[in-house]
Amino acid sequence: MKIDRLSEARGIQRGEQALAALRPHFRPEVVDLIVTKTIPAGQRQQILQALSRYQRDSQEMSCRVRLSVLKLSQGNTEELRNQIDIANQDVRDVLMPAENPTLHEMGVVAWSRLDDDEKDRISNNDVESYLNWINNPG
Domain hosting 17: range is 11-135
Instruction: Return per-residue pLDDT of the chain as tens, 138 residues.
Output: 556 788 888 888 999 999 999 999 999 999 999 999 999 999 999 999 999 999 989 999 999 999 999 999 998 999 999 999 999 999 999 999 999 999 999 998 999 899 999 999 999 999 999 999 999 987
What sign has the CA pseudo-torsion 62, 63, 64, 68?
Answer: positive
Position 4 in a domain? no
Rounded to whole angstroms, the Cα distance separating 39 from 47 reads 8
Rounded to whole angstroms, the Cα distance separating 86 from 90 reads 6
Position 5 in a domain? no
Domain count, the chain: 1
Position 62 in a domain? yes
